[in-house]
A and B are shown apart, each in its own frame.
Chain A
């Protein structure tokens, strides 16, 4: 990981639950095809909400593919995490392998506990009682715990909350633990739920959500001049990270390499971003990867589609990459899948790995009106085939927590 003597960290498995359904393939094919997972959510949002759109996970629809017993004690984020972890562990050849027992589980999450608690608050205020499932279902570490329990993973086990940067930090921390030899395998990423009445209305109250209820697939328009905010999405993205030595010893295919993790805190504002913090995080990630800015072929942006984020992120990218910024494809997949909050960083990192694997960059959906303040190459025309050796994935959170991860093509 960029520091001499550190063990190289590689990706050997990935799993996704997204608004396009269960599985990495359907996710990748859909975002490359320019499809949209955003839809009207009258079934989830009570009438009267200003926002009537979202990107819920296809294949769950509030009913889990897991057993009713699992559904009783795991919230939807935890259930999606388990399903995505099964896909990732399967790809990594770890579902039954003895080596899985040393693996850690480090996830990111943000809203799942609050969202899952809503029915229990209602129950309490109506009956003065709360079900015994309340704590298991609302504990933020429930998803990571469920993965550990189901698959018998006995290494480190915890969940990172850094709002929208949670799962990017989780992957970054996991990569450091491996690089420094504390863990040889970590199941990491994130899972989150956002489409519950109070959570939805709370985000809406901040004025950061698109209210384009009439045309859900065109609601979130990252970097476009007519953007009016993001769309809340739900899902899970899980990666199996391991030391290159472990992957070689197990003789499993290496999908990509995690080259660097950069972080910073804005120390600025609870909701507004700061270019300074974003610049630092990108520069630290590049430095940790031992790369010059010229080495980056593609940036998977945070790109929320809010007025402020897209302008600030564009200016930060310009500062880090200078005159080269203009020629780097910068993509936000949030126009297609919405903002998965605590799971966003991980799902976008998986897209970054897939870009490096397939030499293909997905488009920024709904970029239709150039903004003079957002003047980079956002790949609006559709997926682009190109050489992708190094990818930078950005995640910037409310509260000023920034996480950037550099992915490299498998050597």
Chain B
């Protein structure tokens, strides 16, 4: 996965918050239940949830997430790291 252009103003924290909200809505869970270490599978999320989440993340962050990349995701932190890498967000 290649790093995207660095964008001013979007911190990794802000990015994580937006991604957390999308994931929470996708899985019908409270956002507070999701931390970087949360395993998606343990929240009841499955491969179809991840694929549709990837579509929403692509729209929200104007990035491209390949099917292979999203299938490698295990924790919420994996998602945030991929997004930070693609958007070049500052931590």
Contact = CB atoms under 8 A, between A and B. Distances in A.
Interface of A: 67-69, 72-73, 131-133, 136
Interface in B14-33: 25-28
A132 B55 contact: yes
A68 B25 CA distance: 8
B28 A132 contact: no
B49 A69 contact: yes
A131 B52 contact: yes
Contacts of B90: none
A64 to B, nearest CB: 12
B66 to A, nearest CB: 13
A131 B53 CA distance: 10
A136 B27 CA distance: 17
Contacts of B48: 73, 132-133, 136
A69 B55 CA distance: 15
Contacts of B51: 132
B89 to A, nearest CB: 25
A115 to B, nearest CB: 20
A131 B55 contact: yes
A133 B48 CA distance: 7
Nearest to A130: B55
A132 B25 contact: no
18 contacts: A68-B25, A68-B28, A69-B26, A69-B27, A69-B28, A69-B49, A72-B26, A72-B52, A73-B48, A131-B52, A131-B55, A132-B48, A132-B51, A132-B52, A132-B55, A133-B48, A133-B52, A136-B48
Given A67-B28, A132-B52, A132-B55, 6 more contacts: A68-B28, A69-B28, A73-B48, A131-B52, A132-B48, A133-B52
Contacts of A131: 52, 55
Interface in B22-63: 25-28, 48-49, 51-52, 55
Nearest to B54: A132
Contacts of A132: 48, 51-52, 55
Contacts of A67: 28
A67 B44 CA distance: 14
A69 B56 CA distance: 14
A400 to B, nearest CB: 38
Contacts of A68: 25, 28
A67 B48 CA distance: 15
Contacts of A73: 48, 52
Contacts of B55: 131-132
A149 to B, nearest CB: 12
Contacts of B25: 68
Nearest to A129: B55
A139 B48 CA distance: 15
Nearest to A135: B48
Contacts of B26: 69, 72
A67 B27 CA distance: 9
B59 to A, nearest CB: 10
B39 to A, nearest CB: 18
Q: Which 4 A-B pairs have the closest CB atoms?
A: A132-B51, A67-B28, A69-B28, A131-B55
